[in-house]
A = this chain, B = another copy of it.
Amino acid sequence: MEETRSTTVRDVARAAGVSPGTVSKAINGTGSISPATRARVLATAEELDYRPNDLARSVFERRSFTVGMITTDSFGRFSVPVMLGAEDALGAGRISVFLCDSRDDPIRERHYIDVLQRRRVDGFIVTGRSSNPRPPLEVPRGMPVVYAHAPSTEPHATSVLIDDVRTGELATEHLIDTGRRRIAAITGPERFLAAHQRVRGHLAALAAAGLEPVRSPLGGEWTEQWGRHATHLLLREHPDIDGIMCGSDLIARGVMDSLRELGRSVPDDVAVVGIDNWELIADGARPSLTSVDTNLQELGRTAAQRLLEAIDGRPRRGAEHIAPRLVIRESTELG
């Protein structure tokens, strides 16, 4: 096993017959240097397959051009799009991203913070499964942190969030626009802020249109099973329902399955709209499911943007909400 040491500035300098300082200038385009030597240095660098050592540079610059991304959501339903968006925005700015999965374990989180601190990351992005507030990341003051999707309990922290109220509003407005009047909501567990706020938007939209909800919203689980179950409950009480807003696409699938079973046609008898726009689920459904996209990828990109600004010394405090967007499919098409 030959121990190969990668080529250094010195090597290039020696080969090109100049000093290390000159090589540095040639490569970074700093200082003043004659075009001739510049060209010669670059040529030899190329020839020797020289690759600058960014670690050494970082020691000098006192920053690493890296950030830590900490996710508490192993399964990735929500974090993954956020992380991809963030990585995309950061990568474009030549910043690299450390991936850390804390699995919702404070010990592991602490560990990652320590490790990344030693690596001198320029900042952190924190993301998680639930949009419920979480305790702040314990980093030294002055270290930039942006919360993506899961806000901090600390109100002054920088957070980029889903506009859950607006998703419920959009979904419900769309039902109304397609002529539905006897509308109900089936959503997730009460303890989830998201469930709550989506319902708030739902009720606001109904009120704005001068409609009464057919029934108080049904809260249960974020599952197909619950969607199926709730639909049975709902139709038993209100057989004349003509529109259902679901708190998630998975719930919506369950709802549509039960509707079919109960002999209701979607969208002719009942229109159904979901939230999440999880394409695989929405496209695979029968009929395909109209859904509100929460734009998680854009959320991630925005979070990255905010982190860059904070690193740059101009932090934007407080919460910011990403606008959702309606994606129309068959489940609400006008008859």
Q: Is A170 an interface residue (CB 8 A)?
A: no
Stretch of A40-48, A49-57, A263-271 at the chain-chain interface: A49-57
Q: Is A76 an interface residue (CB 8 A)?
A: yes
Closest to A118 in B: B54
Closest to A57 in B: B118
Q: Is A115 an interface residue (CB 8 A)?
A: yes
Given A49-B140, A99-B69, A280-B250: A120 and B54 interface contact (C-beta under 8 Å): yes
Of residues 6 through 36 on chain A, the ones whose CB sits less than 8 Å from some CB of chain B are 6
Q: Is A96 an interface residue (CB 8 A)?
A: yes
- Partner of A115 from the list B4, B76, B96 (CB cut-off 8 Å) is B96
Q: Could you tell me if B100 and A142 are in contact, using CB atoms closer than 8 angstroms? A: no
- Inter-chain CA distance A224–B59, complex, in Å, is 53
Given A69-B99, A98-B97, A101-B88: A119 and B55 interface contact (C-beta under 8 Å): yes
Q: Is A236 an interface residue (CB 8 A)?
A: no
Q: Could you tell me if B101 and A116 are in contact, using CB atoms closer than 8 angstroms? A: no
B-side contacts of A94, CB under 8 Å: 115
- Inter-chain CA distance A115–B69, complex, in Å, is 18
Cβ of A207 to closest chain B Cβ, rounded Å: 33
- Partner of A59 from the list B55, B69, B120 (CB cut-off 8 Å) is B55
- Inter-chain CA distance A285–B112, complex, in Å, is 37
B-side contacts of A114, CB under 8 Å: 51
Q: Is A225 an interface residue (CB 8 A)?
A: yes
Q: Could you tell me if A51 and B118 are in contact, using CB atoms closer than 8 angstroms? A: yes
Q: Is A189 an interface residue (CB 8 A)?
A: no
Closest to A140 in B: B49
Closest to A314 in B: B1
Q: Could you tell me if A62 and B142 are in contact, using CB atoms closer than 8 angstroms? A: no
Q: Could you tell me if B101 and A84 are in contact, using CB atoms closer than 8 angstroms? A: yes
Q: Is A284 an interface residue (CB 8 A)?
A: yes
Q: Is A191 an interface residue (CB 8 A)?
A: no
Given A59-B59, A115-B96, A250-B284: A313 and B1 interface contact (C-beta under 8 Å): yes
B-side contacts of A223, CB under 8 Å: 283-284
B-side contacts of A250, CB under 8 Å: 280, 284
Q: Could you tell me if A4 and B142 are in contact, using CB atoms closer than 8 angstroms? A: yes
Q: Could you tell me if A98 and B96 are in contact, using CB atoms closer than 8 angstroms? A: yes
B-side contacts of A303, CB under 8 Å: none
Q: 10 other contacts beyond A1-B313, A254-B284, with CB at 8 A cut-off?
A: A4-B142, A49-B140, A51-B118, A54-B120, A55-B119, A76-B80, A87-B100, A96-B100, A99-B99, A224-B284
7 tightest Cβ-Cβ pairs between the two chains A and B: A224-B284, A99-B99, A54-B118, A76-B80, A56-B59, A55-B58, A97-B99
Q: Name 26 interchain pairs, CB-CB below 8 A, sorted by A.
A: A1-B313, A2-B142, A4-B142, A5-B62, A49-B140, A51-B114, A51-B117, A51-B118, A52-B118, A53-B120, A54-B119, A59-B59, A76-B76, A80-B80, A87-B101, A91-B101, A96-B98, A96-B116, A97-B98, A223-B283, A223-B284, A224-B284, A225-B284, A250-B280, A250-B284, A257-B286
